[in-house]
Amino acid sequence: MASWTPGNRPKRSSFQFSFTICPRPYLALSSLNDGPGSYGATARNGARRRSRKFTVPLSPTGSILVNPLCGPHEIERVAAVQFWKMRTSLSIGRIAGIEIGLNWSLAIAFFLFTASLAGEVFPSDVPGYAQTAYIVAAIAAVLLFYASLLAHELGHAIVARRLGNRVDGITLWLFGGVARLSGDSVSDSAELRITLVGPAITIAVAIVFAVIAAVLATLNVFPLTVDLLGWLARINFILAAFNLIPAFPLDGGRVLRALLWRFTHDQLRATSIAAWLGRAFGVVLILGGLSMAFLQASLINGVWLGVLGWFLFSAAGSQELQTRLQRSLTGVTVRDVMVPDPVTAPDWITVDDFVARYATVHRATAYPIRDFNGQLSGLVTLHDVSAIAPPRRAGTQVRVIARSLTQVALARPDDALIDVLHQVEDPATAYVLVKDGDRLVGMVSPEDIGRALDLAGLRQPGPVTTGRSGTSPGTVGDV
Ligand SMILES: [Zn+2]
């Protein structure tokens, strides 16, 4: 690829190639309640227990993979979208006010990258160093590479913020980086600007590394450092090139979508076309991965490529779904879907009492609970109750098994439903308590959310918006 790196081998491995993507999926409906011990575990358990009613995909192979737009139930597809939400496992601080986090999957990537560089790439490029030197160089290279990725994502995030998007943070993970943006809609030109800045930064970073490597190589000093910098330059060029492939939700696909959006004045149609290309590219990668694994006996590279293709395929479908949902949920408020004045139960009664006086008397699947002073103290669901063994029910108070208020999403009646979906971990298991000031005025159950989503799916898409004004509805969150 370049002559400034001694021992540069043009074909490194597809592992590095496939590794260095930044899908920047802006994964849909990013959560606002990521706190430890929050709703997540409960929600997932609930999902399993409720599986007869909602076949929530526990893997992303749900309806998105089978048929991205024709699943049996909207809520399943939204749940599948949620699956791809990139969770921050470890927050490492803030840059320019933007929270930077690491996902646990990054550890796998870090290990594979470091092992590949220290065990194979550097020793064969510049032999004669101690193993420790290769390991130190490999760790430095991988850290610098992640710093480059971070710069790319920061570019997206800072420009997005300047253009009025809310930035929830940046997470580095297995396949690169994700800038989690949501908030107000943007226009096609804003999307273009937010998108192009990422690859531009990556190319600039690559050039900087290449120039330093070239200077050091000319001076004939620090051959291992030269190789390291050369690798960084190459991988950043590859990163930029890969991201510019017009396969949504890669950056190139976003550019294509923005151009189609400008041309057709229809964001949804533009998204559909770009997402179709994204899925096609995902299939190509999956087939490439399979052939690599089985025909070339390169199992790790093949699996890697296949998983990457699968991710892109699913992410493209998710993004399209998100755009469509946000269009069709425009104008739907919490008040439209909530059950008003839900039956509440005292939190000090026993589970047995609760079953006798509430669960078997009323029709709800969950009950807000109040304390002795009449204050709302949490929410208990029938699933929480069924998890308690019958012999223990007489001696267990309801408040012990209930979800606390911090584990339940709260909303106001006039909040947009789409904003509430942003808040919940998994709409297939989420209960939302609706308060007007201090007063509980309603509750939204997963059934209500599912019904609203199904109805939204039946609605005609909203009016065509060019988005030029920057105020077009229904574009929240995906750019
Ligand atoms: Zn990007």
Beta strands 366-370 and 345-346: pairing type? Answer: parallel
Cβ(448)–Cβ(338) under 8 Å?
yes
Mean pLDDT along residues 46-69: 28
Helix, coil or strand: residue 103: coil
Considering Cα of 127, then 128, then 129, then 131, what sign does the dihedral take?
A: positive
Instruction: Tell me what percent of the residues of the chain surpass a pLDDT of 90.
Output: 27
Q: Say if residue 181's pLDDT is above 80.
A: no
Kindly state the DSSP code that residue 208 receives in the 8-state scheme.
Answer: H
Q: Each residue of 82-95: pLDDT tens digit?
A: 545 556 677 888 88
pLDDT at 244: 92
Tell me the pLDDT band of 126, cut-offs 50, 70 and 90. Answer: confident
Tell me the pLDDT band of 223, cut-offs 50, 70 and 90. Answer: confident
Q: Say if residue 315's pLDDT is above 50.
A: yes
Q: Say if residue 202's pLDDT is above 60.
A: yes
Amino acid at 149: L
Mean pLDDT along residues 156-174: 85
Beta strands 98-102 and 376-381: pairing type? Answer: unpaired
pLDDT at 12: 28
pLDDT at 287: 94
Q: Say if residue 294's pLDDT is above 50.
A: yes
Higher-confidence position of 209 and 327: 209
The residue behind tokens 């092992």 is: 115
pLDDT at 140: 94
Most confident of 9-18, 182-191, 303-312: 303-312
pLDDT at 182: 67
Ranking 86-95, 273-282, 390-399 by mean pLDDT, the lowest is 86-95
Tell me the pLDDT band of 65, cut-offs 50, 70 and 90. Answer: very low
Higher-confidence position of 28 and 219: 219
State the catalytic residues.
153
Amino acid at 217: A
In the chain, where the domains are located: 14-328, 334-458
Ranking 45-59, 251-265, 359-373 by mean pLDDT, the lowest is 45-59
The residue behind tokens 């960084």 is: 232
Q: What's the mean pLDDT when you consider all of the chain? A: 74
Higher-confidence position of 84 and 57: 84
Q: Each residue of 226-266: pLDDT tens digit?
A: 989 999 999 999 989 999 999 888 899 999 999 998 988 88
Higher-confidence position of 119 and 326: 119
Q: Say if residue 76's pLDDT is above 70.
A: no
Beta strands 98-102 and 345-346: pairing type? Answer: unpaired
pLDDT at 416: 84
Mean pLDDT along residues 203-209: 96
Tell me, in angstroms, the distance from the centre of ligand 1 to residue 242's CA: 10
Q: Say if residue 206's pLDDT is above 90.
A: yes
Tell me, in angstroms, the distance from the centre of ligand 1 to residue 45's CA: 34
Higher-confidence position of 36 and 364: 364
Mean pLDDT along residues 287-305: 86
Cβ(380)–Cβ(367) under 8 Å?
yes
Q: Say if residue 177's pLDDT is above 90.
A: no
Which backbone phi and psi does 163 adopt, to 5 degrees?
-90, 10
Q: How many helices (H) and strands (E) does the chain have?
A: 19, 12
Q: Say if residue 79's pLDDT is above 60.
A: no
pLDDT at 477: 26
Q: Each residue of 2-47: pLDDT tens digit?
A: 222 222 333 322 222 222 333 322 222 222 222 222 222 222 333 3
Cα 292–Cα 295–Cα 301 angle in degrees, nearest 5: 20
Cis peptide bond prior to 249, omega within 30° of 0: yes
334-458 architecture in CATH?
A: Roll (3.10)
Q: Each residue of 420-476: pLDDT tens digit?
A: 776 676 667 788 999 998 889 999 988 888 788 777 767 655 443 333 222 222 222
pLDDT at 252: 92
Task: Please give the C-alpha separations between residue 163 and each of 157, 338, 389, 417, in angstroms, as whole numbers.
Answer: 10, 33, 54, 24
Tell me, in angstroms, the distance from the centre of ligand 1 to residue 24's CA: 5
Tell me, in angstroms, the distance from the centre of ligand 1 to residue 250's CA: 7
Q: Say if residue 58's pLDDT is above 80.
A: no
Q: Say if residue 479's pLDDT is above 50.
A: no
For the sheet containing 98-102, what is the strand order?
90-95, 98-102, 165-173, 176-183
Tell me, in angstroms, the distance from the centre of ligand 1 to residue 32's CA: 22
Tell me, in angstroms, the distance from the centre of ligand 1 to residue 23's CA: 6
Mean pLDDT along residues 364-371: 91
Tell me, in angstroms, the distance from the centre of ligand 1 to residue 243's CA: 6
